[in-house]
Structure 1
Amino acid sequence: MIFCPLCKNILNIENIANMNNLICMTCPYTYKINKEINRAEDNPTMVVDEVMGGDEEYKYASTCTKKCIKCDNNLALFMELQTRSADEPMTIFYQCTKCKTNWKEN
């Protein structure tokens, strides 16, 4: 990807009069391509972290009376997170206190 030196937006490839050009869609900048452009960048593999806290995600969670979807236990840990837009209800995540099964309700 090559960026516009004037406005810093990404340049798009466009064929004008049988010549490829890099043009900016925001400002009038145009770069005429007269040679092959090759540029390689190493993108290191990212280590994925536990999004919700790993083994201790329910460490400080409250308990409620909720029937487990797997073992029919009636006690679960729960936490509420805003996973969608602010005008939509929060998502409730549950974990059974007996079998550690996780499930959610939107």
Structure 2
Amino acid sequence: MNKFCGDCATLLDVQEHQNYCFACNKGFKKLNSQQKVVQEKVYVHQTAAEFLHQEARPLIDEECPKCGHGRAYYTTQQMRSADEGQTVFFECVKCGYKYKTNT
């Protein structure tokens, strides 16, 4: 049975009288075979490329005029004078069709 450090979750070096963690420089008393692991640490690994490919644009329930799909990414921008409404740009999630509306 593998034994792991309770502080940093590093695999312990099994020695005769104790288990030793090289990362923390600590020795741990050996557990008898009756004891069980009651806590598990899970580390999520994500590469920079995976992180950058995640979609960060906001979504809205908007029907695409081309394919009829009900979800679209959107952005807003003030295209006209300040006393007029903004322009909302949409991009269909399914087909990528881009369209806009003035509000």
Q: Which has the larger radius of gyration?
A: 2
By the TM > 0.5 criterion, same fold? no
- Normalised by the size of structure 2, how large is the TM-score? 0.45
TM-score by length of 1: 0.44
